[in-house]
Amino acid sequence: MADENRFVKYWRYALGEIFLVVIGILIALQVNNWNENRIEQNRIKKYAKSMVKDLEQDIDMLNISMIQAEDAYSRIDSLRNYALQTEIENLSNTLIYTIAHDVIYRTYSWNRSTFDELKSSGSLRLVQNDSLKSKLVAYIAFSQHLDEDFTFDKINAEKVDASLVEIINLNSPFLSKIKNWEVENFNTTFKEKVKTQVFKESVAQDLPLVSYDREKILQLINTCIIVQESYRVRAFMEMPEIIEDARELIELLKQEYD
């Protein structure tokens, strides 16, 4: 009987020890999970802050590209009207050059490093807001689509330059001065450009065109119109849309992780 009581006592003691060990393990696991969740949340907050900066820089970059695409679109309208309303022998070398050269907008320079790191590290799974996650993926896909558009637009812009050199006399020293002014003031429009002193001096000492061939002039205009049709979509639809997408993402990121 005494042995039986001793066995029961030891058995209860052993069960108590096992229970305490299990409870300790569960508590340790819970604390570990809590720490991991806290680390993950801090990590995703850092990613979110970095991504907000990336998107803000994208917006600044896109605004410049959009202004340039809008200006090129307007310049092509000016070229078409000017060429149709002016006698061929009276066409200005400086004016055609200033209107039609370098119609490509600024190259996109997306800030994708944070998203790429988020994706490659597997941390994209930490974004629990499905709407935010889908918008991030859609934004990257849209930006890649615009990269493809840029390649297409650049090829057509180069065709404009090729048509232009068959008409324009590039020997004027003022044309290089106009180009230098444009490099220093890349975010200005054609309307601002024609008000500059260097443009006025070039017009005053204008050189004749190297060709007054009507077919070549029409070829230039036609090539420009192809560019303009693309820019109608780029400058007035796609660029404004992706800028709005970036702004929405910034708001979502701030709401979710600030």
Q: In sequence order, what DSSP letters do the residues of 183-205 get, joined into one string?
A: HHTTT--HHHHTTSHHHHHHHHT
Q: What's the number of domains the chain is made of?
A: 1
Q: CB 3: neighbour CB atoms within 10 A?
A: 7
Nearest to 258 by CA among 110, 51, 12, 86: 51
Compute CA distances 119 → 19, 107, 140, 163, whole Å: 42, 25, 12, 44
φ and ψ of 167, to 5 deg: -115, -40
Query: Which has the higher per-residue pLDDT, 80 or 122?
Result: 80
Both tokens assigned to 45:
């907050």
Which is higher by pLDDT, 20 or 42?
42
* pLDDT, tens digit, 9 for 90 and up, residues 116-126: 998 888 888 87
**Cα three-residue angle 169-98-182, rounded to 5 degrees:** 115
What is the spatial distance between Cα 193 and Cα 29, in angstroms, rounded to a whole number?
Answer: 68
Q: Give Cα separations from 216 to 47, 49, 211 (angstroms).
A: 54, 53, 8
What mean pLDDT is predicted for residues 145-152? Answer: 97
Residue 113 in this model has a pLDDT that exceeds 80: yes
**67 phi and psi angles, rounded to 5 deg:** -60, -45
What's the domain range around 13?
A: 2-257
Q: What is the pLDDT of residue 54?
A: 97
Please tell me the least confidently modeled range out of 24-28, 62-66, 159-163.
Answer: 24-28
User: Which letter does DSSP use for residue 206 in this model?
Assistant: P
Please indicate whether residue 61 or residue 183 has the higher confidence score (pLDDT).
61
Computed on alpha carbons and rounded to an integer, the radius of gyration of the chain in Å comes to: 32
Query: What does the CA dihedral 144, 146, 149, 155 come to, rounded to 10 degrees?
Result: -90
As a whole number of angstroms, the distance between CA 179 and CA 173 comes to 10
184's CB contacts (< 8 A; 6+ apart) are none
CB 140 within 8 A of CB 115: yes
How far is Cα 39 from Cα 18, in angstroms, rounded to an integer? 31
Share of the chain above pLDDT 90, in %: 66
Is the confidence at residue 16, as pLDDT, over 70?
no
Residue 39: predicted pLDDT: 63
Instruction: Note the Cα 63 to chain centre separation in Å.
Output: 9
pLDDT band at 182 (very low <50, low <70, confident <90, very high): confident
Across 212-230, average pLDDT: 96
Residue 212, CB half-sphere, CA atoms under 13 Å: how many? 9
Q: What is the pTM (predicted TM-score) of this model?
A: 0.83
